[in-house]
Structure 1
Amino acid sequence: MRVLIVFNHPYSGSYCNSVLNATMDGLTQAGHDVDLIHLDRDNFDPVMREKDLKAFVMAKDQPQQALAMLDPQVLDYKTRLQAAEHLIFIFPIWWELMPALTKGFIDKLVFPGIAYHYNARGTRMHCDLSKLKGVTMITTMNTPSLAYRLLFGNAIKKALLLGTFWKIGIKQRHWLNLSCVKFAADNKRQRWLDDIQAKFASLR
């Protein structure tokens, strides 16, 4: 299986990087073809510029002209996303939401002509990621999971899995959230990593 990982964390010594390594080890163990997009190292520009919004508006009726307006980096990501059979996001939750680079990736790649198209009336989305079987999000945060669910309504889950990817028609959507990471004992952190590696070693 071709698996695309979209990773976002600027600090190489972060626990998120350990999660990334465990994920890749598991996928490699299972024989999957792994493609890593490291948004920080790629110096990805997350900002939707005027030309990007113009392309978004044009995409329904002038798809080729719209795509021609996008940055070469976005077009490279497009090719890699459309080849993926499973998509994994790994990022920290900061102030209840995703970092800017992850949000920018969603804005620029979950885009008409890349991830979906509209029906003739423009009232419904149809997925263009024909090879994609599922999406998994792995997040880290220091907030207790109960507080995140009760006070903040599981904002990431609602925005991405129940919002973005449900709307474009991805049926298999999963979220693995590691909470109170800053306060977790070393053996618990290692157990999480072992579980993640085992999880992706069994991905089919």
Structure 2
Amino acid sequence: MRTLVIIGHPNPNSFCHALAQQYIDAGRTSGAEIRVLDLSTLRFDPSLRNGFQGAQDLESELQEAQALLKWCSHLCLIYPVWWGSTPAVLKGFFDRVLLPGFAFKYRPSGLPDKLLAGRSARLIVTSDSPTWYLKWMMRDAAIHSVKHSTLAFCGFKVRVSRVDNVRQSSPGKRTQWLNRMTSVALQDHRH
């Protein structure tokens, strides 16, 4: 399996990065070929300046990101919930990379073609809030927008793993979550 792991946290010392490393290590142990895009290290303009109406040259790192998205059969996306949404760098990444003609294609009528169909995805989402609060009070916006409005729209079949109450978690709980990433990676990379 060819897996692309995208880390959507802008701080390289974040718990998201630790979860990602655990997932990557377990996936590689299972025989998966894994490539990593760490958004904390990419340098690009996150603003889609002309919307879909005009051309905006892609930075070389975003061209490489598109090539990796075409290459992968599985995507693992790890990000925190901030203000009921994704970090700005991740939203900007989606805006700039998942473009018409690459990730989807408009038709004269009906729903667009899903140009990244046939791929699976795993969201690993961290939050300081409990899951019940995100689901019932925030209507799960940070997951819904990525799962349905972004990845499924482009053709991915998406599964979700949640890591909640991070701010109040104990070292023991964090170790449990890290160990859980091993199980998640092995589940994702079963042959």
Same fold (TM over 0.5): yes
Structure 1 partner of 2:150 = 164
Post-superposition Cα deviations, 1:1-30, rounded to whole Å, max 9, x if no partner, equal 110111122333321111011111111111
Instruction: Note the residue ranges of structure 2 that are not aligned, 5 or more in a row.
Output: none
| Runs of 4+ in structure 1 over 6 Å off | none
RMSD of aligned Cα (Å):
1.8
What amino acid does structure 1 have at the position aligned with 2:119?
Answer: K
CA distance in 2, matches of 1:148, 1:116: 29
CA distance in 2, matches of 1:148, 1:82: 32
Which structure has greater helix proportion? Answer: 1
1:87-102 equivalences under 5 Å are 87-102=75-90
Structure 2 partner of 1:61 = none
TM-score, normalised to structure 1's length? 0.85
What amino acid does structure 2 have at the position aligned with 1:123?
Answer: G
**1:79 matched to 2:75:** no
1:23-38 equivalences under 5 Å are 23-38=23-38
What amino acid does structure 1 have at the position aligned with 2:53?
Answer: V
TM-score, normalised to structure 2's length? 0.90
Structure 2 partner of 1:133 = 119
Instruction: Note the residue ranges of structure 1 that are not aligned, 5 or more in a row.
Output: 59-65
Distance 1:140 1:184, change over 3 A: same
1:62-77 equivalences under 5 Å are 69-77=57-65
- What's the % identity of the aligned pairs? 25
**How many residues matched?**
189
CA distance in 2, matches of 1:83, 1:37: 13
Q: Pick one of 111, 117, 142 that aligns with 1:124.
A: 111
